[in-house]
Structure 1
Amino acid sequence: MLESQTALAIESSTTSADAYQDAILSKVSRTFALTIPQLPPLLRRAVTNAYLLCRIADTIEDEPAFSAEEKRRYEDAFIDAVTGRIAPQYFSAELASLFSTETSEAERDLVSQLPLVLQVTNSLMPAQRMAIVNCLKVMSHGMHDFQRNAGQHGLKTLCDMDCYCYCVAGVVGEMLTELLIDFDPALASQRDPLMRLAISFGQGLQMTNILKDQWEDHRRGVCWLPQDIFARYGVRLEELQAGQQDANYMSALTELIGVAHAHLRDALEYTLMIPSRHSGFRRFCLWSIGLAVLTLRNLQQTPHFSAGEQVKVSRKAVAYTIGLTRLTGNYNTGLRWLFAASARKLPLTPLSAEWSTSPHPHLAWPKSAIAYFAESA
């Protein structure tokens, strides 16, 4: 009788945790609240949990009231809470009380409910938990290293931008691929090409976000654009002013839009490698790709934008993208045609050799990056 009551209590607690995950997702993400529900239930549960934990790591790094040292300390404590080294209840309660009003109410609530989120984490299969934890370690350590030196001067090179994008998005692509292969082991034979394309997929999405949000970042005193690309056109990033972009700025922006476009082509190839029987996972990918392509088009057509809101994809365009991909989602030829038609006026900048030959292009990055990736794995 006692065992039965205990089992019911655990089941009830897990159900509450799942309900919280589903409820908070739409409050902390517009895009992922749209795409994650397309996944099959078992995969959806793990991906939702992974996204929320990544969002907590991101929230810590984005909090302007925290110093670089505090961010590192809280990120380390967060990983300890996720891996069970410290009790999450006390950590999350203390941390949630320290956020400024710059952090949204939904994000503060998510942090305060970390113990509930971790109930779901701890109920996942071991391979799923390992994929999520490895991703969080690389993400939190990598974000901190970049945030520590962040400023309006931007990143030194496009290679550094690649590295940053890996830390915040490419590693998520790897994690999602691990979760997918765990869900369908028949895909294990395609692991290497899927991983290479997953990293490029993440790069394309993150670059699009960086370009869209550059003026919001600028107002916060940070910039994730590469100095070398803009310097080639005589532009100093720290001197940029929203709404006052000149032709030289537009030349540099066009080149970066071309790089993002090239990565989104890899994202399409990744999606086409997923068998059509996984139609939900395909939709999860396709909707993200479609929204990114439309955002790049808006950026190209609105050269003097001064806020991300001005280039955000409209709800009508979102609905149109969803409808078209539902019609063509199982047909590779149709998807190639749809992508080509949507991106036909975008510039295209060829990717470096590492992206086309290496399953793990970040291995070609600076030794300092390799060190903390290896340390975190």
Structure 2
Amino acid sequence: MRAPKQTPTPNPSDDLAYQKAILSSVSRTFALTIPLLPPSIEKVVGNTYLLCRIVDTIEDAAELSAQTKQSLSALFLDAVLEKTPVESFVEPCLEALKNYSNPDEIDLIANTPTVLRILHTCSSNDQQAVSRCVSIMSEGMSFFHGKQNQAGLQDLAEFEKYCYVVAGVVGELLTTIFSNHSRAFERALVGHENLAIAFGQALQMTNILKDSPEDKARGVSWKPMNVSQAELLKIAYQKLHDSLQYILLIPKEEQGMRRFCFLAFGLAVMTLSKIAQRKEFDSKDEVKLSKSAVMKFYGFTKIAVKSDVLMKAFFYLNSRSLIK
């Protein structure tokens, strides 16, 4: 009688190698920023980004109905919370996305078990924070799946809510993880917790404005109705201003945390400045930062994060077009 075939035990170092490789495939920006973090939090932040990217992939699939997206989001959340086996999500999701055009994102979904294995090696506090973030994002996006239309969101309040469930909650998650790592940051943040939400929302507003031509082409708008581009840029300016205050609260000795946040922040500032200088654009490629501009700023951040004055000067000089 032949012995049953043994399933090989997953190797944690192989899992982490996959996480690093797929991160560079699905996000140029976060593949640059996440490795700047201290090793103790790089793993959990990278892992969270991939989990959020799976939720985003479901949302971005234009061929899926709102009902199918809601169903897949619920299956994914159950898998993250360990209510059901992860295969209960992976198999129907891959079937639903069989015509999806991005092979890296399909690969990520196929490797959801790997991503969740890494999550379960993180501290219990970090796991709780990630589960809260993914729950709010997944349930929030399910709510907004039924509101996808070409006209846009109902008003500014709905727009703020969308930006919160998609990204503001990620700002809260980062704050929890950073606070677990740095008691000095935890103390500095007292009374300023809302700045964390603004940090996430500012990055999301940048994505919404940058991606608006492609969203329009697939019959969707995440902008609020009856709100001009100029008004949205002014709101984005205020969110960026609050984001900078958030970054300045990070102790100077936490260079990795500061640089991670300042790099993402600065790329958003420069992208929005390019958008503000155009009345309209037909593709996000028209306002996308060049690789050389990104790498120059990447180098600048190494010096800038050591000086509050330098970070403030960068923001002042590069954000003026947003409030004209």
- Shorter-chain TM range is over 0.9
- Structure 2 residue runs without a partner (length 5+): 1-6
Q: What is aligned with 2:3?
A: none
Q: Which amino acid aligns with 1:216?
A: E
Once the two structures are TM-superposed, the CA of residue 11 in structure 1 deviates from its matched residue by 9.1
- Paired residues for 1:272-351 under 5 Å: 272-347=248-323
Once the two structures are TM-superposed, the CA of residue 169 in structure 1 deviates from its matched residue by 0.4
Once the two structures are TM-superposed, the CA of residue 67 in structure 1 deviates from its matched residue by 1.8
Once the two structures are TM-superposed, the CA of residue 190 in structure 1 deviates from its matched residue by 3.7
Deviations along 1:197-226, one digit per CA (max 9) or x if unpaired, are 011111111111111111100111110111
- Paired residues for 1:224-263 under 5 Å: 224-229=222-227, 252-263=228-239
Q: Which amino acid aligns with 1:184?
A: S
Selected match of 1:151 from 136, 149, 165: 149
Q: Which amino acid aligns with 1:107?
A: E
Once the two structures are TM-superposed, the CA of residue 137 in structure 1 deviates from its matched residue by 0.7
Q: What is aligned with 2:122?
A: 124
Structure 1 residue ranges (4+ consecutive) displaced by more than 2 angstroms after TM superposition: 9-12, 100-103, 185-195
Residues in 2 aligned to 1:103 and 1:169: alpha-carbon distance in whole angstroms: 24
Q: What is aligned with 1:14?
A: 12
Q: Which amino acid aligns with 2:251?
A: P
TM-score by length of 2: 0.93
Residues in 2 aligned to 1:131 and 1:296: alpha-carbon distance in whole angstroms: 30
Contact 2:75 2:88 survives alignment (8 Å): no
- Structure 1 residue runs without a partner (length 5+): 1-8, 230-251, 349-377
Residues in 1 aligned to 2:213 and 2:47: alpha-carbon distance in whole angstroms: 30
Selected match of 2:53 from 37, 55, 59: 55
Q: What is aligned with 2:220?
A: 222
Residues in 1 aligned to 2:263 and 2:8: alpha-carbon distance in whole angstroms: 36
Q: What is aligned with 1:208?
A: 206
Once the two structures are TM-superposed, the CA of residue 304 in structure 1 deviates from its matched residue by 2.7
Once the two structures are TM-superposed, the CA of residue 146 in structure 1 deviates from its matched residue by 1.2
Once the two structures are TM-superposed, the CA of residue 90 in structure 1 deviates from its matched residue by 4.5
Residues in 2 aligned to 1:162 and 1:169: alpha-carbon distance in whole angstroms: 10
Mean CA deviation greater in 268-277 or 302-311: 302-311
Contact 2:276 2:321 survives alignment (8 Å): no
Contact 1:177 1:194 survives alignment (8 Å): no
Selected match of 1:197 from 167, 171, 195: 195
TM-score by length of 1: 0.81
SS at match of 1:87: coil
Q: What is aligned with 2:163?
A: 165
Q: What is aligned with 1:35?
A: 33
Q: Does 1:73 align with 2:71?
A: yes
Once the two structures are TM-superposed, the CA of residue 32 in structure 1 deviates from its matched residue by 0.6
Deviations along 1:219-243, one digit per CA (max 9) or x if unpaired, are 11110111132xxxxxxxxxxxxxx
Q: Which amino acid aligns with 1:325?
A: T
Q: Which amino acid aligns with 1:277?
A: E
Cα pair distance change 1:65/1:344, threshold 3 Å: closer
Cα pair distance change 1:10/1:279, threshold 3 Å: farther
Once the two structures are TM-superposed, the CA of residue 186 in structure 1 deviates from its matched residue by 3.6
Residues in 2 aligned to 1:184 and 1:175: alpha-carbon distance in whole angstroms: 14
